[in-house]
């Protein structure tokens, strides 16, 4: 067994070809607490990972502590580790994304799902509602399809994933199709109106117990490129040809930025959520920059949210969080729950 990398920091959510965690020195550090139900506590069990995914062997390295690990600056190694983790921990036998697409740090992504399960449990006498009557809407599912994969495996929830990038959606669909049983649980929908979050992807009368989102982070392509170069430099890698051609670009530039960055994306999401008060019980999103929170809370008050919660996730030495809001008070949420159970 070897220690896993420090769980991903909030700003390492934007991984494409760049590393999913700090390499070498940090590889040996377990980092701060993941959610207690997170399957990635403590040490990666490389014996078990290799038994399930022999292809990972090609990417193994030995750390300065003499432990087995992978080189997190190598996208192919991170992809192989992710494929092995998804297979071992979540029974996802086939997971493949092309080079250049966002390669998610699995432990951190799983934490958001566990936090969401706790949120739903708080309306359900402390019991996590499981099974396919629970419906979740993932805004920006990405090529990696990570939240539906983990959420369905952990809790049996059904997902609709939306995406503006048609190539990403095609890759996510390949993952769904390659794994028996997923097609009934995960539906992917293209968001054809780039500036919209919920509009046009919801069908009439459709209801979701929650929405989730890992929003585009940077405000411009240039900012995203600078972010990539900074990460590369932090890894002690020369800013050579690879970094000058921004690492995270190509097919997945949408993944990294949107006009106005995270704050503007979340503003749009909040504005669009109010008219959907009775269609989605809990709206949620990751918020990478805590300085955005006061303005977001103010806006939520303005649009009439009846409850707003901020749920923190400690990941490595970074504090991350997701914001959750609902327009339904506790008694309306009891009605919602009864209707779900009646399905
Ligand atoms: N959920 C994945 C991908 C997050 S990156 C993960 O956590 O790894 C953000 C994704 O949102 C990108 O794939 C981007 O193409 C998509 N996106 C951006 N604007 C969107 C919109 N308005 N509606 C749906 N998806 C959007």
From 30-39, 41-50, 202-211, 304-313, the region with the lowest mean pLDDT: 30-39
Between 224 and 228, the higher pLDDT residue: 224
Q: What is the mean pLDDT of the chain?
A: 84
Mean pLDDT of 155-166: 97
Residue 187 lies in a domain: yes
Mean pLDDT of 155-183: 97
Give the distance (Å) from ligand 1 centre to CA of residue 168.
9
Instruction: Tell me how far apart the alpha carbons of residues 242 and 184 are, in angstroms, rounded to a whole number.
Output: 40
Between 18 and 54, the higher pLDDT residue: 54
Q: Work out which ligand 1 atom sits closest to the CA atom of 194.
A: 22
Domain count, the chain: 1
Q: Which of 7-11, 91-95, 318-322 has the highest mean pLDDT?
A: 91-95
**Residue of 116, 142, 147, 272 best suited for mutating to test ligand 1, as the one with most atoms within 8 Å of CB:** 142
* Residue minimizing CA distance to atom 26 of ligand 1: 140
Q: Which domain holds residue 88?
A: 46-341
Q: Does 44 have pLDDT greater than 50?
A: yes
* Residue minimizing CA distance to atom 12 of ligand 1: 255
Q: Work out which ligand 1 atom sits closest to the CA atom of 109.
A: 7
Residue 198 lies in a domain: yes
* Residue minimizing CA distance to atom 11 of ligand 1: 140
Residue 31 lies in a domain: no
Residue 183 lies in a domain: yes
CB 30 within 8 A of CB 42: yes
Residue 35 carries which DSSP code? P
Bridge partners of 218?
257
**Residue of 164, 194, 288 best suited for mutating to test ligand 1, as the one with most atoms within 8 Å of CB:** 164
Residue 106 lies in a domain: yes
% of the chain surpassing 70 pLDDT: 78
Give the distance (Å) from ligand 1 centre to CA of residue 142.
5
Query: Within 6 Å (CB) of ligand 1, which residues are found?
Result: 102, 104, 109, 139-142, 144, 146-147, 162-165, 168, 191, 196-197, 214, 216, 254-255, 258
Instruction: Tell me how far apart the alpha carbons of residues 95 and 106 are, in angstroms, rounded to a whole number.
Output: 12
Instruction: Tell me how far apart the alpha carbons of residues 70 and 80 are, in angstroms, rounded to a whole number.
Output: 9
Instruction: Tell me how far apart the alpha carbons of residues 69 and 26 are, in angstroms, rounded to a whole number.
Output: 11
pTM: 0.86
* Residue minimizing CA distance to atom 5 of ligand 1: 255
Phi, psi dihedrals of residue 86, rounded to the nearest 5°: -65, -35
Give the distance (Å) from ligand 1 centre to CA of residue 214.
7
For residue 211, the domain's CATH number is 3.40.50.150
Residue 3 lies in a domain: no
Reported as a pLDDT band with limits 50, 70 and 90, residue 250 is: very low
């Amino acid at each position: 067994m070897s220690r896993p990398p420090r769980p991903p920091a909030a700003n390492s959510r934007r991984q494409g070809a760049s590393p999913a965690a700090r390499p070498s020195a940090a590889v040996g550090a377990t980092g701060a607490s993941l959610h207690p139900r997170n399957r990635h506590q403590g040490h990666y069990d490389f014996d078990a990972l290799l038994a399930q995914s022999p292809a990972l062997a090609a990417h193994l390295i030995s750390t300065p502590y003499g432990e087995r690990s992978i080189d997190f600056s190598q996208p192919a190694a991170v992809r192989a580790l992710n494929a092995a983790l998804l297979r071992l921990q979540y029974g996802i036998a086939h997971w493949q994304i092309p080079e250049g697409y966002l390669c998610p740090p699995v432990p951190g992504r799983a934490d958001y799902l566990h936090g969401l399960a706790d949120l739903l449990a708080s309306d359900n006498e402390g019991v996590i509602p499981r099974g396919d009557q629970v419906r979740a809407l993932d805004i920006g599912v990405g090529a990696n399809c990570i939240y539906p994969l983990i959420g369905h495996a952990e809790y049996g929830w059904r997902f609709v994933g939306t995406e503006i990038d048609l190539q990403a959606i095609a890759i996510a669909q390949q993952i769904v199709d390659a794994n028996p049983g997923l097609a009934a649980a995960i539906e992917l929908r293209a968001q054809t109106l780039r500036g919209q979050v919920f509009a046009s992807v919801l069908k009439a009368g459709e209801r979701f117990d929650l929405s989730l989102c890992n929003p585009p982070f940077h405000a411009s392509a240039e900012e995203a490129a600078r972010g990539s170069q900074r990460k590369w430099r932090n890894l002690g890698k020369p800013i050579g040809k690879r970094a000058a051609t921004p690492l995270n670009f190509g097919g997945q530039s949408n993944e990294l930025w949107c006009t106005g960055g995270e704050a503007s994306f979340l503003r749009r999401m909040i504005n669009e959520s109010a008219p959907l008060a009775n269609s989605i019980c809990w709206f949620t999103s990751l918020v990478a920059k805590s300085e955005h929170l006061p303005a977001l809370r103010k806006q939520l008050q303005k649009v009439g949210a009846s409850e707003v919660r901020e749920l923190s996730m400690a990941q490595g030495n970074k504090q991350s969080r997701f914001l959750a809001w609902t327009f339904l008070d506790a008694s309306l949420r009891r009605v919602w729950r009864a209707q779900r159970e009646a399905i």
